[in-house]
Every structure is written in C-alpha cells, then in structure tokens.
Homo-oligomer: A and B are copies of this chain.
Amino acid sequence: MDVAHRLRTEGYRMTPQRQLVWDALRRAERHLSAEEIHEQVVDIVPDFNLASVYRTLTLLGELGLANEVQVGDGRGYWEIAHDDDVVHLHCRVCRRVDHHQGELVAEIRNHLAGHHGFVSEDVDLVVHGVCAACDR
C-alpha cells in the first residue's frame, strides 16, 4: 500500500515524520502507543514531537489506514488497519496483541441479529489472557 500516494490524492502531504510513524506501525509486532511510536521516531528526528504522533495517527485513522484499540489501561494502542472482523488476543504478559481471523465475529453478528432488535455495527472482541510464548 502506497501511503504517500494515498495521502496526496486526499489532499495531504507525505512528510518524513508521517513516513516514520507509518514505518513504525508496519514494523511493529504488537500494537503501539503514541508514546512508543514517538520513542522510535525521535531516535531519527531528534526534535520530533508527540503532538505530531497524535495528529498523524488521527489522520491515518480517518483514512482507514490505521486503527486504535483500547486494551483497558487508559491509553490507546495503534495498529495498521485490518479486516473488521478479527478477534484481538491480548497477552497481559508481553502486551502483544494477536489477530485471530475467522467466522467468530460473523457468528456473533448472526447470533445477535435475531434478538433484542439491537442493530450491531462494530463488534469489539478483545480476549485477555496469556499467549503461547509467555505461558510457561
């Protein structure tokens, strides 16, 4: 996915800072907080500012290129956008978040469809636990 091009067609500009935030997300093996992204980028651009992380993440979110996930501590964690219907498996030890794709979320939608007259939009399924690597 060419983010630079995508940004330009939407009337935004690609900047080194934005590129570096994007790179950090791509490279990440887990969801990153704004703070963590900032720490990575500031090594390369010393006066890089936290506010720019937030502005960039908000923008990427609006363009559907990145997502925020709440894992329960006040802060927000970010990841490259992916299909809506995934389960987040959140390891409380290493804090990594795995994605489990499958029919599960679709089943949840079906299951709820009949009842209550509740119109489901986003299904937000976060399972907290311990991942295989940390479980010993």
Contact = CB atoms under 8 A, between A and B. Distances in A.
Interface residues of A, number: 34
B129 A127 contact: no
A28 interface: no
Interface stretch (A1-9, A33-41, A114-122): A114-122
A121 B128 CA distance: 6
9 contacts: A70-B72, A89-B118, A91-B118, A98-B116, A121-B129, A123-B125, A123-B127, A124-B126, A125-B125
Given A72-B124, A119-B131, A123-B125, 9 more contacts: A100-B112, A104-B111, A107-B107, A112-B127, A119-B129, A119-B130, A119-B135, A121-B127, A122-B128
